[in-house]
Structure 1
Amino acid sequence: MSIKKDITIRARIAFLAVLVLAVGIVYRIFHVQWITGDKWREMGRAHVLRNREVPATRGNIYSDNGSLLATSLPYYRLAFDPTACDKQIFNEKIDSLSLVLSQFFRDKSPAEYRRKLVDARARKVRYLYLNRGFKLDYQQKKKMMNWPIFRLGKIKGGAIFEKVYNRKRPFEELAMRTIGYVNEDHQGAGLEFSFDKFLAGVNGQALYRRLAGGHWKPVNDGNEIEPLDGNDIKTTIDINLQDVSETALKKALQYHRADFGCVALMEVETGHLKAVVNLGSDGKGNYVEKENYAVAGRFDPGSTFKLASYMALLEENKIQSTDTIQTGNGRYRFYDRDMTDSKPGGYGVITVQDAFERSSNVAVSKLVVRHFGATPQRFLEYLSKFGLAEPLGFQMKGEGKPYIKKTSDPTWSGTSLPWLSVGYEMLLSPLHILTFYNAVANNGKMIQPIIVTEVSRADDVIETFEPIVLRDEICSEKTIETLRSMLEGVVERGTASNIRNADYKIAGKTGTAQKLINGHYTQNYYTSFAGYFPAHKPKYSCIVVIDNPQGFNYSGSDVAAPVFKEIADKVYARDMQMHKIRPLEKGKDDGSFPLIQVGNFSDLHELCDKMGISNYMNKTIVEDDNSKEYWVRAEASNKSVMWRLRKVEDNIVPDTRGMTLKDALFVLENKGLLVEFTGRGRVYTQSISPNARVYRGNTIYLHLK
């Protein structure tokens, strides 16, 4: 009996335990369902349904003439809900859909696509990506909407096209570092980052459903908050001058096998930056825009800084350009260090003007120590007055802040002042040096550099940025006059005489600074040339920097100055207001003929034949099937008109001088250029030089006469 009783007790205990557990489960179900149900339902919805941000379309970045530098182009991601379609239609059309998917994406066979879609339908997958990593443009999307099943639409066909935006630069790598970027963490560089608050817009919101695999599908419940698209910004960049500057710099960097280089080109009166180029070596012989050396870089400027030293001396009324200075054998000791000149044996006794033109280190350091040695703080005060000691407040983030050693610095010594006078023991950005030289060109008025002129939405201007005057007068008019004469002398007779030319005058200063590495000056050099042109009436200022050139030539005159001249020559050639336009050369008079200059060969040939004028062209050209498309110019020869071929090459700006307006419009607009003209008659001048690279959408100005 005891065994039976024991078994009965155990069974009752087990029954009671199960009963308690069952009661607990029922209570827990009741508690979850009715007492805390709202909480859990809300958590469930949060995991399945969620309001997510809908990115706004980013604003455009334009050049000075309205050409697009950066824009957001719409692309699409393709997803598919295989359960949305009617079973019969799905079975009938799945083979056709699989075939077109395979032909379009070329990543799977039709059979693989069919198996993928059928399996997804069987598993009731309602959101299946079909183009992972493949961005569709609008035309591709439009074509797909006519595919089998997809043509039934989103509800009945299950095709889901999600719009995404991709940032595009029409000019590709041109000015890439200046245009910049913004990443997903809202960090970046350049204009994109600096003006993000204007370009980004305001994101919207929409309800999304979470699907298997972590994908989110828009619900489109009608409560979406539409995003507010970003504003556009207009820059001062001239894309043609940017291209000219980049081409010239890259060629020099490759030739000298340098580490990096930069160019900044500025309008003297307005401070508008027309080109900013930053190229660094990728270690494989190529040069790419990866760092903003012109704005953020800080370097010992070297001899380009001597302009400030002489400005301080002239303002102190301590020297005149005709004074003489003893430079001896080109070596002078300050305490425990020797200041040396680049010329072996030195220059002996020379004038201040000659000392500047020949970039004598000994001369300027002796003069500065002689007149400011007892009061070095006064020299530093002059540098502050000249606008060299404070940041420029440039519009782009990341500006390199200037550093000039102070007398309170623990490392200040007896050699600090003479070395400061020749551009050492300081760190300045190329843009800061350019701004200083621009002030000299601008009769003493220092203008803050500007790269963005306005923010707009469509045709409505929201905000404008006007040039800001940093210093009304950095020095006296007399000092400016003297310094400008000295800067011209550098190119006419001094270290930059290799860039002198007869068409217009350049004023500027070369710089060759030894680089400080691990606390020691090395045989690596930082070369530069800063100046402006035309010297008599400055319109543009420019600085060229090339770091660590290799080979025998390593001075600023040999490395940086020729790049400056190449840029200046091309700027001068395309700016008709800077010089007198030379008339077209007229051929010799070899008979009396109607005025024929340039035109389409087929038209001119037919016209001359009807008028009974003898005309001929190279036989091989005439027999060419494409001869009717040739553009020719006329020459009188043996009482006949001889046609000379004038080629119109792809991606090259043609020479339209001498053409009628009709012919010029035909040729230029076919290249994608916008044409504006003044005058009547034939094309006399064109603003973009022949044989320059074509950028579609740019404006070319023609003057007819």
Structure 2
Amino acid sequence: MNIKRSILLRVRIAFLLTVVFVLAVVYRLVHVQMIEGDKWRQKAEEYSLDYKKIKATRGSIYSANNDLLATSLPFYRLAFDPSLVDDETFTSKIDSLSHLLSNFFRDHSSDYYKKKISEARQSRSRYMVINRDLVNYQQKQMMNTWPIFRKGQMQGGVIFHKVDERHRPFRTLGQRTIGYVKDDFGVGIEWSFNDYLAGRDGEGLFQKVAGGNWKPVNASSDVRPEDGYDIHTTIDVNLQDVAQNALLRALMRYEAAYGTVVLMEVKTGEIKAISNLQKTASGRYAESYNYAVQGTNDPGSTFKLASMLALLEAGKVDLSDTVDTGEGSIDFYNRTLTDVKRGGYGKITVQEVFEKSSNVGIAKLVTEHFGENPQEFVDIIKKTGYGQPLDFQLMGEGVPYIKDTDDESWSGTTLPWMSVGYETSVTPLQTLALYNAVANDGRMIQPILVKSINKANQPVKTFEAKVLNKQIASDETLEKLRLMLEGVVERGTAKNVKNEYFKIAGKTGTAQKLIDGRYRTQHYYASFAGYFPADEPLYSCIVVIDDPDGWNRYGGDVSAPVFKEIADMIYSQNLAIHDSFQADLLANEGTFPVIRAGKFDELNKLCNELGISNHLGDEDVDWVRSQVDNNAIIWKKNYGSNELVPNVQGMTVRDAVYLLENSGLKVNISGSGRVQNQSLRPGVRISKGQTISLDLG
């Protein structure tokens, strides 16, 4: 019995202790929650504070015309602290606010928004995101006038979180060149100049609120961010639009894999347009890779300019020398090199070899003169700077590859194949730099895309094209190279782009593509590189179209017309580059319609015998043109020299033929009377043996 009572007593004591403990816990919970609640809530808020990064506003990117290419626009995410609104305002205005929110976002009913906000208020939530959609600055200003929100952040509880969104006003124009930045990766100007564009982030005090969100406290200790610098580029928006659309039309026409075009000012090296378009899975074209800067490939026949430079600079050949190209094929060990024309070109001059782009002719010349010392050929080319990195302003420039003779892949067929643009690899921009140097009197300069870095319209850093080589070749060699490049358009593989208004100089290129280690005869890399106007070069340009479809897949058929379209558009829009002597082609009208041009001593004698006042404007000239001044004739020196086509319009047949044949031209005549039109425009460079047609009337 005593044992039983003892057990019961122990159980009762244990039960009482448990009850006391439970009551103590309940009391403590009530005390903490009800009596000390404000104190602990304040401490919780204090311990939920942290410093967070405040993003700087990214700098803008501008064109050469000061058009915005990329900028950061402020957008805002709408949040709300419903606990800050007094009961009277909340009760009377919540319906109106919910209605406005529903009409604006158009995703939920007004009842949904009212319920969502009311529940957050009842749960004493200090922070809620009303809608994830961003609003712009004008919309933000409008929302600040809405019921409840108009009281501001402290009394109305409205919170606008600023979020910068990158915006490109011209959308896809130059998209890859402008580029982007995403996390720790990017491309184009955005990435290459990220250190300047990004600015310096600030730091601010934030409070952690319900849902794991952070609300800015706006403390005095906040460090304000420093906005990024602006980038001013050399891109001309109008020329960019012309180049990109011309390229796109050609790509669509030939259903090509990709294409690129670069337009550059000859003297400054400033890139005025650069476009890269690649065929997507949907069949459309978009900029996804910078082939102009990064894409290396066998250049094909555009490399023949470098081969001819080496031959001429070493004194191995002259333009009038002849080469027997036979029936258009030649064997080098176990490989056969062929020309495009079936049956070959036979025996032709060195200049014709270049104009017709004869593989056989170029390879024979190079192997004949450099076969014993092929490294000499390589050294001359590399000395120009071609085949060396340009240290371009954009990251990721393709690494050029021109073999030396100690390269392990060098073989007996390397030299002839290299001479016509194979077994080597360069980017389109690197090839353009070589052609630009020929146009620029031998001065090879570094292409540039960014002109300055600005802060508040004040340059903090400026860029100019670096001189990579002051003189890539002798003046004599350069003059011959220019003659050959002009001949390609006048008579050669690009004669389809010849026009009567201004002269183009350039070279076509068609390279078989290397696929799975083998060159494929049905897949081509078609290109055209050159400059214009040829007499006084202002722009250089390269066009590449990869793997075009159809029968005509050569550079002259596919890429050269894109070049011409760009050049024509620039010529038509820029009166400053129109030739000053164009007005001289028109015969003077007035009192003396017959006296146009001729030999000065004969015309002067005729006028004196007829009693016509005439005066010589230039001293010591043989051939003149007439210019009427009131009732007198002023004799002006006729446009012409031993190297340039003279102006014979208005002359007698005898005088015209004499002058033209003494300039090295062959003359075809049709009609009778004085010369009305001539097929070769005055002022263009003469190629000896060239034919000019005269229309008389």
Q: Which runs of 5+ in 1 are unaligned?
A: 26-40, 585-705
**Aligned partner letter, 2:199:** G
Deviations 1:134-188 (A, max 9, x none): 22111111111111111111111111111111111111111111100111x2310
**Aligned partner letter, 1:564:** F
Task: Report matched runs for 1:445-524 at 5 Å.
Answer: 445-522=443-520, 523-524=522-523
Deviations 1:318-349 (A, max 9, x none): 11111111111111000110000000011111
Q: Does 1:398 align with 2:412?
A: no
Query: Counterpart in 2 of 1:54?
Result: 54
Query: Counterpart in 1 of 2:568?
Result: 569
Q: Write the distance in 2 (CA, Å) between the matches of 1:2 and 1:493.
A: 131
Query: Counterpart in 2 of 1:260?
Result: 258
1:369 offset after TM fit, Å? 1.1
Q: Write the distance in 1 (CA, Å) between the matches of 2:139 and 2:497.
A: 54
Q: Does 1:86 align with 2:76?
A: no
- Cα distance, 1:190–1:557 mapped onto 2, change above 3 Å: same
Query: Counterpart in 1 of 2:676?
Result: none
Task: Report matched runs for 1:278-677 at 5 Å.
Answer: 278-522=276-520, 523-580=522-579
Matching residue within 204, 218, 228 for 1:230: 228
**Aligned partner letter, 2:423:** E
**Aligned partner letter, 1:442:** N
Query: Counterpart in 2 of 1:71?
Result: 71
Q: Write the distance in 2 (CA, Å) between the matches of 1:582 and 1:358.
A: 31
The 3-state SS of whatever aligns with 2:276 is: strand
Q: Write the distance in 2 (CA, Å) between the matches of 1:455 and 1:302.
A: 38
The 3-state SS of whatever aligns with 1:83 is: helix
Q: Does 1:127 align with 2:138?
A: no
Moved over 3 A (4+): 1-15, 43-47, 580-584
Query: Counterpart in 2 of 1:181?
Result: 180
1:194 offset after TM fit, Å? 0.6
Q: Write the distance in 2 (CA, Å) between the matches of 1:553 and 1:437.
A: 25
Deviations 1:117-138 (A, max 9, x none): 1111111222111220x22111
1:4 offset after TM fit, Å? 5.2
Q: Write the distance in 1 (CA, Å) between the matches of 2:143 and 2:382.
A: 65
**Aligned partner letter, 2:49:** L
1:408 offset after TM fit, Å? 2.3
1:405 offset after TM fit, Å? 2.4
The 3-state SS of whatever aligns with 1:449 is: coil
Deviations 1:458-515 (A, max 9, x none): 1321111122100001111111000000000000000000000000000000001100
**Range that drifts further, 558-567 or 402-411:** 402-411
Deviations 1:386-407 (A, max 9, x none): 2123200001111111012232
* Seq. identity, %: 55
The 3-state SS of whatever aligns with 1:131 is: strand
Query: Counterpart in 1 of 2:633?
Result: none
**Range that drifts further, 402-411 or 136-145:** 402-411
The 3-state SS of whatever aligns with 2:251 is: helix
The 3-state SS of whatever aligns with 1:198 is: helix
The 3-state SS of whatever aligns with 1:262 is: strand
**Aligned partner letter, 2:573:** R
The 3-state SS of whatever aligns with 1:76 is: strand
Q: Specify the structure having the higher radius of gyration (Cα).
A: 2
1:377 offset after TM fit, Å? 1.5
The 3-state SS of whatever aligns with 2:85 is: coil
- Cα distance, 1:489–1:9 mapped onto 2, change above 3 Å: farther
Aligned residues of 2:497 and 2:564 also touching (Cα < 8 A): yes
Q: Write the distance in 1 (CA, Å) between the matches of 2:74 and 2:194.
A: 19
- Cα distance, 1:457–1:254 mapped onto 2, change above 3 Å: same
The 3-state SS of whatever aligns with 2:409 is: coil
Aligned residues of 1:47 and 1:210 also touching (Cα < 8 A): no
Q: Write the distance in 2 (CA, Å) between the matches of 1:449 and 1:248.
A: 22
- Cα distance, 1:414–1:129 mapped onto 2, change above 3 Å: same
**How big is the alpha-carbon RMSD for the aligned residues of Structure 1 and Structure 2?**
2.6
1:12 offset after TM fit, Å? 12
1:214 offset after TM fit, Å? 2.4
Aligned residues of 1:254 and 1:285 also touching (Cα < 8 A): no
Query: Counterpart in 2 of 1:172?
Result: 171
Query: Counterpart in 1 of 2:601?
Result: none
The 3-state SS of whatever aligns with 1:504 is: coil
Deviations 1:2-30 (A, max 9, x none): 84598499879989x99xx99xx9xxxxx
Q: Write the distance in 2 (CA, Å) between the matches of 1:153 and 1:548.
A: 62
The 3-state SS of whatever aligns with 1:332 is: strand
The 3-state SS of whatever aligns with 2:310 is: helix
Q: Write the distance in 2 (CA, Å) between the matches of 1:583 and 1:431.
A: 34
Deviations 1:33-57 (A, max 9, x none): xxxxxxxx9x978972211111111
